[in-house]
Amino acid sequence: MITTNNGKGYMDRYENIKSEIVCPKCDASKDFTFSKSKIDPEDNLATVFFQKGGICEHQFNAYIDIHGKVRGYQHVNFIVPLFPNKKFISDNKIKSEEINADIIEMSFSEVFFVYICKIIFFRKKAIILEKDDFIINELRKLLDYLTEDSFNYDILFFSKEKYETVKKSYKDYVILNGKKIIRSPPGFLSKRKNKMKKQSKIEHYLVEKYVTLRSYEFALQVLRKEIHTIYLLASSIAMYSTEIKNEEKINISRIKEVLKAENKNSDYNPYIDYLIEISKNYFGAKLPHIFSTVIDSI
- Which residues lie below 8 Å from residue 198, measured CB to CB, with a gap of 6+? none
Q: At residue 285, does pLDDT exceed 70?
A: yes
- Which residues lie below 8 Å from residue 134, measured CB to CB, with a gap of 6+? 103
d(C-alpha 126, C-alpha 153), whole Å: 9
What one-character DSSP code corresponds to residue 40? Answer: B
Compute how many other C-beta atoms are within 10 angstroms of the C-beta atom of residue 200: 21
d(C-alpha 71, C-alpha 62), whole Å: 8
Mean pLDDT of 254-268: 64
Chain-centroid distance, C-alpha 209: 25
Taking each continuous run of H as one helix and of E as one strand, the counts in the chain are 9, 9
Q: Which of 115, 19, 26, 27 is nearest to 65 (CA)?
A: 19
Q: Kindly report which listed range (78-82, 129-133, 266-270, 289-293) carries the lowest average pLDDT score.
A: 289-293
Cβ-count burial of 91 within 10 angstroms (0-12 exposed, 13-18 middle, 19+ buried)?
Answer: exposed
Q: At residue 54, does pLDDT exceed 70?
A: yes
Comparing 169 with 242, the larger pLDDT belongs to 169
Q: Kindly report which listed range (23-27, 75-79, 123-127, 135-139) carries the lowest average pLDDT score.
A: 75-79
Sheet holding 154-158, edge to edge: 154-158, 125-129, 174-176, 181-183
Q: Which of 114, 92, 247 is nearest to 189 (CA)?
A: 114
Q: What is the pLDDT of residues 95-105, one digit of tens each?
A: 878 888 888 88
Q: Which of 118, 184, 128 is nearest to 156 (CA)?
A: 128
3-state secondary structure of 63: strand
Q: What is the pLDDT of residues 159-216, one digit of tens each?
A: 889 989 988 888 889 998 866 778 877 667 655 444 444 455 778 888 888 888 877 7
pTM over 0.85: no
pLDDT at 200: 55
Q: At residue 3, does pLDDT exceed 60?
A: no
Q: At residue 90, does pLDDT exceed 70?
A: no
Tell me if 36 sits within 8 A of 15, measured CB to CB: yes
Give the orientation angle of helix 272-281 with respect to helix 219-241, to 10 degrees.
Answer: 70
Percent of residues, the chain, with pLDDT higher than 70: 71
Q: What is the pLDDT of residues 136-150, one digit of tens each?
A: 889 999 999 999 888
Terminal Cα-to-Cα distance of the chain (whole angstroms): 64
